[in-house]
Amino acid sequence: MADRTPVEIPYSQLEYVVTFEKPMLDLAGKFHDLVAPFMDALEPWGFVFEESEFLLTSPRPRDHVVTFHRPSTAPPPQMRVAVRWSTLTVSVDQPDWTEAESIAKLCSAAVETALHIANAKIESQQISLGMHVQSKTTQRSEITALLLTAQARELMDGQITGQGIILHREGSMIVIDNSAVFANGLFIRIQRTFDHSVGIAQISETLLKDERKLWDLLGLEGEL
């Protein structure tokens, strides 16, 4: 096997979004009916009421959001659960695959709470992982050189300092580009959409397979 390039992930974010078939109008004017069940459901992960944010005064319902947080002093990873009229979003900063089971349970707990209190039904689910990947030994343009065809190399002039792709497939996409934040880094985003019938465990397994396949394609080595 050819030598792999050691890399680190200085920053990453996981986002799991559930879109409901209809807005959760059963919760209109029922602030307590929303907040109390979510606080009970999220308590095992250290979420506290005092860290919550309530943005409900906009004249446009699409801008309304209730966001539950863990304290900034909580051990990593940082987690957020944002509830809107038609969607629920779980965000995790610096996710670690050793925490995959706990994160999956958090997503399930949040979704089950919304379904129970609002009589909601899931229309679709989306998982996305955005990450900055950095090598201390190899130029990023060397890592992604295999993504550039001979024909594409004829475009424009000057030294090539980086290349990437945006690949759309039915129900999924991937972006590979130069990172604008970390020196000699790549920005990578993997995204998939699932219907209501797919369980969170299968979604997690699919994302891990996607990440491992990308690591193998680019010849990378390091903790996922």
* Secondary structure (H, E, C), 91-115: EEECCCHHHHHHHHHHHHHHHHHHH
Look at strands 87-93 and 79-83 and give their pairing: antiparallel
The Cβ of residue 49 has, within 10 Å, a number of other Cβ atoms equal to 13
How many angstroms separate the CA atoms of 114 and 133, rounded? 35
Sequence letter at residue 41: A
Structure tokens at 175: 């972006």
Structure tokens at 37: 């069940």
- Predicted local distance difference test score (pLDDT) of residue 34: 94
How many angstroms separate the CA atoms of 78 and 75, rounded? 8
- Predicted local distance difference test score (pLDDT) of residue 121: 96
Per-residue pLDDT reduced to its tens digit, 89-147: 999 999 999 999 999 999 999 999 999 999 999 999 999 999 999 998 999 999 999 99
- Predicted local distance difference test score (pLDDT) of residue 3: 84
- Predicted local distance difference test score (pLDDT) of residue 169: 97
Structure tokens at 36: 């109390």
- Predicted local distance difference test score (pLDDT) of residue 1: 47
Structure tokens at 127: 């998982």
Sequence letter at residue 108: S
- Predicted local distance difference test score (pLDDT) of residue 28: 86
Low-confidence ranges of the chain (pLDDT < 50): 1
Task: Note the pTM of the prediction, 2 decimals.
Answer: 0.94
- Predicted local distance difference test score (pLDDT) of residue 161: 87
How many angstroms separate the CA atoms of 191 and 17, rounded? 11
